[in-house]
Structure 1
């Protein structure tokens, strides 16, 4: 990262810190003014950060991510309901299986091996 980019990132961080400090200095006098200080600090920090190379790279990444999301083929309502019912069916089948295994192991260890009959 270049020196200019480091300075821009440091300035963005400084704006953010100044906005938060402004909230604590102005917050007791007027709540809206303190919140405005934080919002201004975040907006200034974002604007300065977006002018750096990492900021520009982030914008490109975000654009590419949005383009990829637009390519996604989302399932229909019918497919979603069918897959949800399939998952519920597997959950019920697994619960029954685990109940049977638990009962069998309890019988095996407590009743057969340890002789603690019910």
Structure 2
């Protein structure tokens, strides 16, 4: 087994690397600056080691860190949870969130959602 194979074995969170690049891109768009891992860490208030762990997929940002990033980038927390694959879009269920008129739902859909929320 080579070093790359061992590296792949510890990638429990493969989306984290994409998340790091996404944050850099968002910050660059807002500030006009390019961000390294070190400057990203300073900007969001974490360590370069944490950024490295996210990039290699060995960990994901804590909820507190995601909250800070959410405020900094003015992005909903739910977006960050999806980007780090801590939630899926199916789990968020945008169909129910986007509809506001209850007449758009069947009785079965409404009852199913009520049962889900009560239990």
- TM-score bin (small chain): under 0.3
Larger Rg: 1
TM-score, normalised on structure 1?
0.25
Q: Which structure carries more relative contact order (alpha carbon 8 Å, separation 6+)? A: 2
TM-score, normalised on structure 2?
0.25
